[in-house]
Structure 1
Amino acid sequence: MKAVQLNRRDFLKYSGFGASGLLLGCATAKTNMLASTLQGAAPVDTSPETLNLFVSIGSDNKIHLINHRSEMGQGSKTGITQIIADELDVDWQNIEVIQGLGNYDYGSQNTDGSTSIRSFYSKMREMGASAKRMLESAAAQFWQVDLAQVEAKNQVVTNKVTGKQLTYGDLAELAAKQPVPDVKLLTLKNESDFKFIGKPVAAVDLDDIVTGNTVFGIDHEMPGLLTAVIVRCPVIHGKVKSLDDSTARKIPGVVDVIQMPETTLPVVFNPLNGVAVLATNTWAAMKGREALKIEWDLGKNQDYNSKDALAIMAETVKKPTKVIGKKGDVDAGFAKAKTVIEAHYSVPFEVHAPMEPPMSTAMVTGDTCEIWASSQNPQAIMKHTANLLGTTEDKIKVHVTLLGGAFGRKAKADYSLEAAFLSKASGKPVKVVWIREDDIQSGYFHAGSAQYMKAGLDDNGSIISWLQRVSYPSIFSTFSPKDKGIQGFELGMGYGDLPFEMENYQAEASSARAAVRIGWMRSVCNIQQAFALHSFVDELAHSQNISTPKFLKAIYGADRKINPKEEYNFKYFNYNEPLKKHAIEISRYQAVLDKLTQEVNFDEKLPAGQGWGIAIHRSFVSYVGVATKVEVTNGQLKVLDVHCAIDCGTVINPDRVTSQMEGAMIFGLSLALMGKVDIENGAVVQSNFHDYQVLRMSQTPNIHVHLIPNGNYPGGVGEPGVPPLAPSLANAVFAATGERYRTLPLNKYLSV
């Protein structure tokens, strides 16, 4: 199988989900003899036709499948292909995968929120099945028999009475003329008949990645291309006060120096104010940037310090604030409790830090713009670039390259807008290159936060009262000029959707000032909310002198499905999935817990300084449990083993799910052990991997992944592994040392 970029095969224009259904088109220029025979004419020109979004079949029997999502290592390109190919019933070796352009007809192309499979599983199966039925209809028409007399299988349609056969390639043009079947008439495969779904199929572009035959954001080249490196104001909403670019312009290779527009309010995805150096190569642009002499007006946010901001949040959660969920009377519950436990938790500001920083190339010609970007969200690029340039979205063409990691950073379109702005200003195609310091200091940040937890337990150790408060700047601050508080979707990530049995419950939330761009990061608000929740559960278990696995089994209570609106009067967004389809099920929590207790002996006698920790969390409609084993010796923390169990419903590709969990453990360990962004006088202090560290190989533990497949609808995979890692780690450290650390990262207390 070979994966290619669409711009190398421009044979498809797009119709979309809004069309009446799936059509097939011929994707080669070869003569289709079957079509010629049917038409009673000379061999016809089978040039590519404008017929389909996802499937095209050539007379050479090659299958061309469109991937409309971004590929950043999570495996969506392979998984989507598996789903379509299974229902279409084709030979895997004959498939060619094509990366789709930005196009609204696909539905959402925003490849975040762990949605690629769970949002498109049913639709992609229908697309494959619809294509197969049209091929069968074409064969029935050719043989002039009933549809029931033909069967499509393994890329061949067979007449079940005569035994005659036609390949999909033979039938492609005739199939394109068939009426699109009603989805109600489609018969989808039984799980037992799957050829690709649930199988460990190799990534479609693995060979090209290994051999370097791929295109990432920085790789795109074209005649006359200039490279731009931008120095941005270190404080958001600051601006250039004075500029001396005379020295920079003298550096060989520097072509131009252009000032960026002022930062808007709200910032959304618009460029930040600063100065761009355009050059014939990246090195010259970087040296030109170093030579700029800029005096900044740092603006209204130069008084902001993250240390003070976190202290304010910590004070805020000590007092009552806005109630977002309530059951019973917590004060009455605490009055009856035998034991009352309180704790405060804090998570610092953090940044995505993908290995490939943002990269984008733009070429503006008149009122049109063509962009090549390592983007999770080409449709956002289309929308905001059109606004920036004063044109319409149909004039913006976006090519999606491979992404060298993203974690939510590349769902923002700002770096593509920078390229478009500079291309229009210079009259040249421009590639904007973010160096590592740009990525760390001028990106979008995960919000720092503070939480307060209080629980009352009765004589049996059952929870009879629960109070929690949280404070952090909302992501919504990036998109609105007014503070409207923490949003429901943020609080729905492990805060207002607790799975425990309790008589009385109250959740409160308070927003905080945002003085940097706040954006979603891998698992979003689950990061801070899961850390506090599952660390606190461990504290409650310890207070009752019971192991955390046994305590969890008890507080989950009876097998049931939870509706947070009915349970706590909390309006729950459920990751935009209906609860009927993706219910909150206690049995699935228990299954993950059972799997971990099968794999790990939490009661084993360990040497001094060693300990196990556990946390189980539902996010993006999947259930993940993490058990972590650590050793602490003379203040040195070493993570020895991590076991991760995941129930994500139907598993499309077990290899990709396993690799995503392994990556999530590493990402989560990086945050929990070392992840911290400090903001002083409005500017980010950290600048590169020497002071914003990520996990090294020497720090990486043995990672064991356990899949719990079942017949449920597919859940998310890219993000759900991250949230339970930090609390399981902190709980393990407590088990090993007796020290309870409630503030991340842990290198604040221990060497890592």
Structure 2
Amino acid sequence: MSDIVNVSRRKFLQTTGAGAALVLGAQLIPAGLFAGGHRHHKLFQPNVFISIDTQGTVTLTCSRSEMGQGVRTGVPMLLAEELEADWQRVKIWQAPGDETKYDPPGKDGQNTDGSRSTRHAFDVMRELGAKARLMLEQAAAKKWQVPAHEVYAKNHRLYLKSSNKSLDFGAVAELAAELSVPEVTPKLKEPGQWTYIGKDLPVVDGFDMTTGKAVYGADIVLPGIKIAVVARPPVFRGKVKSFDATEALKVSGVEQVIEIPPLADDKPAAFRALGGIAVIGTNTWAVNEGRKKLNITWDNGPFAGFSSASYDQQMKKLARNQGNTIRHKGDADMAFRQASKVLEAEYFVPFLAHATMEPPAAIVNANTRPVKVWAPTQSPNETRQFVAETLGLKKTEVECRVTLLGGSFGRKSKIDFVCEAAYLSRALGKPVRVQWTREDDIQHGYYHAASAQLLRGVLDANGKVTAWYQNVVSPSLMALFNPAQKGMSELEAGLGLTDLPFSGVPNIKLQTGEIETPIRVGWYRSVNNIQHAFAINSFVDELAHESKRSTLALLLELIGNSSHMVLDEKEGVKKHWNYGDSVEDWPIMPNRLANVLQRVADKSGYGQTMKPGTGIGLACHRSFHSYVAVAVQAKVDKAGLTIPRVDIAIDCGRYVNGEGVKKQMEGAVVYGHTIARHGKITTAHGAVEQHNFYDYGLARMSDTPLNVHVHLVEDFVHLKPCGVGEPGVPPYAPALANAIFAATGVRHRSLPISL
């Protein structure tokens, strides 16, 4: 954890950059940050996450990006809890990019990804709040001239024990500002004393989001700003051969056409701009019309022959071959040689697009120092890094302000679109907003990795699974940084494959195959857990059917009841990637997975006799340290597929905002339904074939599951917080596929499921 020091109000203005943000008005800074106009008074600001003015208004800093997951509510709740602040008198301020100040756990670089914001902030934010509370109590004690232990804080007031004296926080703000931050953290509140943690609170931005007042990337307007769109190479690593902008420049409102250099041959793609031809003008309509009139000849480069159809077949062929063994338990080879009954199945998941509701947009003024960036980014410091590289500057010469994100799912952690704006702003000598369209987003994005998998299982005479084999072939997101990477990395295998939580299976062999990555593959909500959960849960359903057992009974048997599953060299696992965390703090606990599975089966009515054409499918998965199970009820008739009911149970350990967890699970069902029924990116001659929502489908109200029941399982709520934003997605698709089989007897082993 970083050192915590008391800072003056002037230092606060300097370190937060609030003065610069106020140039934009009250869009990015709460109006009450310096409430009451008492600019000659001292703010009490014991650290960069808490400040209190003389009117008692508490401003809490959020250093993670809000993209609909509720982080601007949940993390400040931790501060407010130990501070004893009245939530009605709290305002939230969004921190700019600066990991030296705004990443006190020292783990995340201020990135918002991996469903880790709450689990990494839980302890440190409470400590910061508790120290600030103690300082307020000390200030009140000084004012009353009594020992500090005679004072306690409660709901924004300070009370003197054994008397009726009390003071508002604001009344001691100036006194508290003179004190030193305690070196030792005071005793934190016990769960029974919590006012906010574990309770339901509305999203702080909810009103603005639903009334159009929320500020997203494209909403920022600067004096003299120019608008730009970019015609990018249709094929990854393509280049401009030549172009003619004559007709584009004739469009009213188009002012300039500028070439952005292509990706350098000797640099990995990472988060760099793709290059292309930018059309710049006064409004989005003009520049989009101008772009249509560009005459460009492209050199499609090394991936011009990339066809997803042939690539998919190559993956499937490789999955049938022996891969690289990443885990072996017992003697699976011997078990398969001696088996009297072996079941085998192949599964496939295609490339997927993030398809966020807000397409990427970024505003950059590269003509000031520091360079000023406003963007809906998950990674403000990597934004600074790549913008600095684009402009030939140091990272410290770039300032990044984070707007609200209109969805992200991993896409806006890759900030190629910001680099485009930086390059153009410097070329023009003016601030620029680069705006992507839906077509840009779908055709030039970073895609979720496709995968092909082969699974085999041995069934003994009693219908027990005695051996499990799984081989996965999938391109790697690590190719963004190392183009030579072939096949999944250790990190990607750790996303639901290496950590297969089947403690009840005596013989396990897991393998991965190698394949090149001819497209920009990037992390996506739940990442490789999606394909691993789909194959694993679908295959268990097949094994259960073959052995004439219920899927619930077989899954519970496979999972077992172990409280800690150890992955080490005894099973050939040299190093297991555990979401970047220690297994001591976040162990793999199969018993928790079994628990949520049993809960969702009970709640959904699984096992009851269903009407013809109707069935319930089960699936469960551990990801981001959380345990989630899903039961989908599917009905298939002449009208097609409907989903009468979905039950989803989550054990995420200690949670902060119960309502927020429920919303994330409901959203995961909708997102999972898109993956299961609609999502598919294909390529021909190297170019993505899909364009917009008419050919890249999303779940719509007409087919989205509406009757969703979320069950918050609290049996392990005393344990550390786990992830919430992503874990609800992986089990949905296999639960739906299993439900369709239960209803119709038809097995679907490839996504999306077509009926």
TM-score (norm. length: structure 1): 0.93
Q: Which moved more, 1:406-415 or 1:358-367?
A: 358-367
Of 85, 103, 106, 2:102 maps to: 106
Contact 1:140 1:147 (C-alpha < 8 Å) held by counterparts: yes
Q: Partner residue of 2:124? A: 123
Q: Partner residue of 1:19? A: none
Q: Partner residue of 2:154? A: 153
CA distance in 1, matches of 2:439, 2:667: 23
How far off its partner does 1:161 sit? 4.1
CA distance in 2, matches of 1:549, 1:91: 46
How far off its partner does 1:589 sit? 1.2
How far off its partner does 1:10 sit? 11
Q: Partner residue of 2:428? A: 426
Structure 2 gaps, min length 5: 1-9, 18-31, 104-108
SS of residue paired to 2:117:
coil
SS of residue paired to 2:118:
coil
How far off its partner does 1:211 sit? 2.0
How far off its partner does 1:106 sit? 1.6
How far off its partner does 1:366 sit? 5.0
1:38-437 → structure 2 map (5 Å cutoff): 45-46=40-41, 52-104=47-99, 105-107=101-103, 108-183=109-184, 185-264=185-264, 265-365=267-367, 368-437=370-439
CA distance in 2, matches of 1:374, 1:558: 43
How far off its partner does 1:166 sit? 2.4
- 2:602 aligned with 1:591: no
How much identity, in percent, do the aligned residues show?
44
CA distance in 2, matches of 1:741, 1:595: 26
User: In the TM superposition, what whole-angstrom CA distance separates every residue of 1:358-395 from its partner, at most 9, and x where no partner exists?
Assistant: 01000011553101111111111011111111111121
How far off its partner does 1:485 sit? 3.8
Q: Partner residue of 1:23? A: none
CA distance in 1, matches of 2:16, 2:243: 49
Q: Relative to structure 1, is the Cα distance of residues 124 and 50 closer, same or farther in structure 2, using a 3 angstrom cutoff? A: closer
- 2:689 aligned with 1:685: yes
Q: Partner residue of 1:730? A: 737
Query: How much is the aligned-residue C-alpha RMSD, in angstroms?
Result: 1.9
Q: Partner residue of 1:602? A: 606
Q: Partner residue of 2:513? A: 510
CA distance in 2, matches of 1:133, 1:338: 69
Contact 2:44 2:173 (C-alpha < 8 Å) held by counterparts: no
User: In the TM superposition, what whole-angstrom CA distance separates every residue of 1:67-91 from its partner, at most 9, and x where no partner exists?
Assistant: 1111111000000111110110011
Q: Partner residue of 2:470? A: 468
- 2:723 aligned with 1:716: yes
Contact 2:43 2:173 (C-alpha < 8 Å) held by counterparts: no
Contact 1:29 1:45 (C-alpha < 8 Å) held by counterparts: no
CA distance in 1, matches of 2:518, 2:127: 46
SS of residue paired to 2:649:
strand
How far off its partner does 1:736 sit? 1.1
How far off its partner does 1:11 sit? 5.5
Q: Which amino acid aligns with 2:677?
A: L
Q: Which amino acid aligns with 1:165?
A: S
User: In the TM superposition, what whole-angstrom CA distance separates every residue of 1:345-368 from its partner, at most 9, and x where no partner exists?
Assistant: 110111100111001000011553
Q: Which amino acid aligns with 1:638?
A: T
Of 623, 627, 631, 1:627 maps to: 631
CA distance in 2, matches of 1:486, 1:12: 45
1:517-528 → structure 2 map (5 Å cutoff): 517-528=520-531
CA distance in 2, matches of 1:508, 1:559: 24
Contact 2:487 2:516 (C-alpha < 8 Å) held by counterparts: no
CA distance in 2, matches of 1:399, 1:610: 50
How far off its partner does 1:415 sit? 0.6
CA distance in 2, matches of 1:597, 1:137: 53
CA distance in 2, matches of 1:608, 1:466: 33
Contact 1:14 1:51 (C-alpha < 8 Å) held by counterparts: no
Contact 2:16 2:96 (C-alpha < 8 Å) held by counterparts: no
User: In the TM superposition, what whole-angstrom CA distance separates every residue of 1:30-69 from its partner, at most 9, and x where no partner exists?
Assistant: 698xxxxxxxxxxx92255886310000000100001111
CA distance in 1, matches of 2:259, 2:522: 25
How far off its partner does 1:15 sit? 8.4
CA distance in 1, matches of 2:140, 2:649: 47
CA distance in 1, matches of 2:256, 2:572: 58
Contact 2:351 2:448 (C-alpha < 8 Å) held by counterparts: yes
Paired residue total = 719
Q: Which moved more, 1:45-54 or 1:343-352?
A: 45-54
Q: Which amino acid aligns with 2:370?
A: T
CA distance in 2, matches of 1:475, 1:686: 21
Contact 1:386 1:392 (C-alpha < 8 Å) held by counterparts: yes
Q: Partner residue of 2:24? A: none
Contact 1:29 1:47 (C-alpha < 8 Å) held by counterparts: no
- 2:652 aligned with 1:648: yes
Q: Which amino acid aligns with 2:741?
A: F
SS of residue paired to 2:198:
coil
How far off its partner does 1:125 sit? 0.8
Q: Partner residue of 1:35? A: none
TM-score (norm. length: structure 2): 0.92
Q: Which moved more, 1:604-613 or 1:663-672?
A: 604-613
Contact 1:13 1:50 (C-alpha < 8 Å) held by counterparts: no
Q: Relative to structure 1, is the Cα distance of residues 480 and 686 closer, same or farther in structure 2, using a 3 angstrom cutoff? A: same
Q: Which amino acid aligns with 2:722?
A: G
